[in-house]
Amino acid sequence: MAIKEKKTLRAPQGSASLKIKLVRSLIGYPSGQRVVARGLGLRKLNSEVVRPNTPEIRGMINKISHVLKVEAMEEQ
């Protein structure tokens, strides 16, 4: 029996902020994952938020990476 590895999103350490977009519905997922999406500020499908690139935010992203699209943004 093979052990399945968890897919993680690796954000570049040098980027100042991350653009996070909810691309899949949270219907049918555990309530804990819905709470994480709300904590990131994502309310509806295709909503986008910009958050700082911190370990806390990256941990939240890793928890629900299967429903998100993440892009690194450089500070301007």
End-to-end CA distance of the chain: 49
State how far the Cα of 73 lies from the Cα of 18, in Å rounded to an integer: 6
In the chain, the domains with their CATH numbers are 17-73 (3.30.1390.20)
| Predicted structure pTM score | 0.78
> ∠13-17-21 over CA atoms, to 5°?
115
> Residue 74's pLDDT is what?
83
The pLDDT tens digits of the residues spanning 6-45 come to: 555 555 556 799 999 999 999 999 999 999 999 999 999 9
- Report the pLDDT averaged over residues 48-66: 97
